[in-house]
Amino acid sequence: GSAMQVVHSAGRRFIVSPVPESRLQEP
Amino acid sequence: AEDTGVRVELAEEDDGQKSSIAMRLCVEDAKKLKGKPKDNGAIEFSFDLHKDHPEDVAQEMIDSGFFQECDSKTVAKSIRDRVALIKWRRERTQQANE
């Protein structure tokens, strides 16, 4: 998937990128 | 650092100079959170080491819907620990240079 951007009213930008499932299952 | 289920790491190399630095937050273990996080993505944001407070950034993430209000302390702590480490490392580098 592609990255999503959220801008908070305080001005900070959050860039959300999906983490691959394989990485989540690492110990 | 204590395992909060939330990992915060540098998203760029710290040159030891700039005050604003890119960081990345990932949920490693959603079970350690009280509320359900929005998704398992990595959240990248910039943090000003001189002006920003981890508590404020955590609240902004909650306002943006990434986390529930009940996890504000956990998110803030994870950011605070990483910020403390960056500051400590910078101080040490500075001392070594002197």
With beta carbons under 8 A apart, name residues in chain A contacting B60. 8, 10, 12, 14
What strands lie across the sheet with A4-7, from one edge to the other? A4-7, A13-17, B42-48, B20-27, B6-10
Contact check, Cβ <8 Å, B42/A16: yes
For B31-44, the pLDDT digits (tens) are 999 999 987 689 99
Half-sphere exposure of B60 (CA within 13 A, CB side): 21
pLDDT higher than 90, residue B79: yes
For A16-26, the pLDDT digits (tens) are 998 765 555 55
The interface predicted TM-score of the complex, written ipTM, equals 0.86
Read off the tokens for B25.
């937050």
